Amino acid sequence: MELYAEAYQQLASISAVLGGLAFAAAAALLNAGARTSDASALDWPAKLTTGTAVASAVLYVIAAMTWSFMTADLFRAAADGQSFPPGVALMNFVASLEMIAGSVLLFVSIGASGWIASRRIGIATSGVALGGGIGLMILIFWFGDL
Helix axes 2-34, 44-79, angle to 10 degrees: 160
User: What pTM, to 2 d.p., does this model score?
Assistant: 0.87
pLDDT for position 37 = 66
pLDDT for position 44 = 87
Alpha-carbon span 73 to 79, nearest angstrom = 10
The predicted-structure confidence for 75-112, as pLDDT tens digits, reads as follows 888 888 888 888 888 899 999 999 999 999 999 999 99
Q: Which residues, 6 or more positions from 33, have their beta carbon under 8 angstroms from its beta carbon?
A: 41, 42, 46
- Written in H, E and C, the secondary structure of 11-61 is HHHHHHHHHHHHHHHHHHHHHHHHCCCCCCCCCHHHHHHHHHHHHHHHHHH
Low-confidence ranges of the chain (pLDDT < 70): 33-41, 145-146
Provide the CA 36 distance to its chain's centre, in angstroms.
30
Residue 37's CB is within 10 A of a number of other CB atoms, namely: 6
What are the backbone dihedrals phi and psi of residue 71, each rounded to the nearest 5 degrees, phi first? Answer: -60, -45
Residue 41's CB is within 10 A of a number of other CB atoms, namely: 12
pLDDT for position 80 = 87
pLDDT for position 48 = 92
What are the residue ranges spanned by the domains of the chain?
A: 2-30+42-143
Residue length, the chain?
146
30 burial type by CB count under 10 A (0-12 exposed, 13-18 middle, 19+ buried): middle
